[in-house]
Amino acid sequence: MKLTFSLIFVLFALSGNVFGQTINRPAIVIHGGAGTIERHLLSDSLETIIRTALQDALNAGYAVLENGGTAVDAVEATITLLENCPEFNAGKGAVMTDVGTHELDASIMDGSDLNAGAVAGVKTVKSPILAARTVMVRSPHVMLAGEGAEEFAKQEGLEMVDNTYFTTPRIQKRWDESHKGEGSNVPKSKFSKFGTVGCVALDKDGNIAAGTSTGGMMNKKYGRIGDSPIIGAGTYADNETCGVSCTGHGEYFIRIGVAKEISDQMKFGKKTLKEAAEYTVNEHLSGMNAQGGIIAMDKDGNFELVFNTPGMYRGYKNATDEKVMIYGDE
């Protein structure tokens, strides 16, 4: 009797359907930032570049998972690719500080053991997400900042670059425009976006990982650090609940503890992923007039891509479906 029950359960699990509930494993979701991203503000060529980059990143991460790689491996592979794409605010193409330099933040979390790593305010580490993972697995710490983080990355043999490596003509132009005239202002362009990149992956073994990488906010000052490298704010992963990566106005995401709030609602409030994500973005963040979005996935591969801005660069891929989206109406 017991044997028959076990056999039926295994057969259902293999077919991806346990007691009417679909399990999509492995699966991956990504974002490339939220903001005032509207059809009439994006050229056709830029739209094609963005859609292709998002699709390539999804494919890279999903290939890792399909080949039996871990969720952490998939997050690293996906985010590294997005960091190297100059259209996103992470790695090459990251926004500039008020004094025209780049200071990068990133974090990664493994939901299987709640291990996590982060770097903040780094200027010469080529891949901040790789540095974050190295902090997680090769140091006893969770977050390293500034010069110490760079020294650690160097000692670990990570690729280092000059700070100007991250500058692109597009970002330089935005910075120049924002510094015309007296003082400095955040650019007044109608098309504004946060542009941070993030990924949540669920591997074949049911492990969830999440990661986020960013240049922060344009014209930030005084060593400002946003939510992206802060575990619980911009990134969180727990196999028991979900993985989350955020993009938006970091100061608010830190104050709410957005990523952990979503996880906690599931753990302690018994909410579904959908209920938790929608509450945090559409009620809690919106109630504070805070802009941004989140991507999140639970242990069964259910996912949510929620934002309170006109658009968010985003996508998902699992065994049965995949899609890349930009605008509110896709």
Give the residue numbers annotated as catalytic, written as ranges.
Answer: 196
The piece of 125-133, 171-179, 220-228, 277-285 that touches ligand ASP (CB under 6 A) is: 220-228
**Does 216 help bind ligand ASP (rule: CB under 6 A)?**
yes
What's the rounded Cα separation, in Å, for the pair 275 and 255?
A: 20
**Does 257 help bind ligand ASP (rule: CB under 6 A)?**
no
What's the rounded Cα separation, in Å, for the pair 199 and 231?
A: 14
Name which position in 219, 228, 245, 309 contacts ligand ASP (CB under 6 A).
228
**Does 33 help bind ligand ASP (rule: CB under 6 A)?**
yes
**Does 93 help bind ligand ASP (rule: CB under 6 A)?**
no
Q: Give the contact letters, 294-323, x = binds to ligand ASP (CB under 6 A), - = no.
A: ------------------------------
The SS3 call for residue 285 is helix
* Token code pair at residue 73: 């491996």
The SS3 call for residue 88 is coil
Name which position in 93, 128, 248, 311 contacts ligand ASP (CB under 6 A).
248
**Number of C-beta neighbours around residue 137 at 10 A:** 12
- Sheet of strand 303-307: strand arrangement: 235-237, 242-248, 292-298, 303-307
Listed in sequence order, the residues at least 6 apart from 30 whose beta carbon sits closer than 8 Å to its beta carbon are: 54, 57, 58, 61, 78, 82, 197, 198, 199, 200, 295, 314, 315, 316
Cα–Cα distances in Å, from 167 out to 21, 54, 286? 47, 21, 32
**Does 128 help bind ligand ASP (rule: CB under 6 A)?**
no
The piece of 1-9, 66-74, 122-130, 223-231 that touches ligand ASP (CB under 6 A) is: 223-231
**Interface of this chain with ligand ASP, residues 49 to 68, rule: CB under 6 A:** none
What's the rounded Cα separation, in Å, for the pair 277 and 287?
A: 14
Closest CB 253 distance from ligand ASP, rounded Å: 6
**Does 211 help bind ligand ASP (rule: CB under 6 A)?**
no
**Does 89 help bind ligand ASP (rule: CB under 6 A)?**
yes
**Does 103 help bind ligand ASP (rule: CB under 6 A)?**
no
Positions that interact with ligand ASP (CB under 6 A)? 33, 89, 194-196, 214, 216-217, 226-228, 247-248, 250
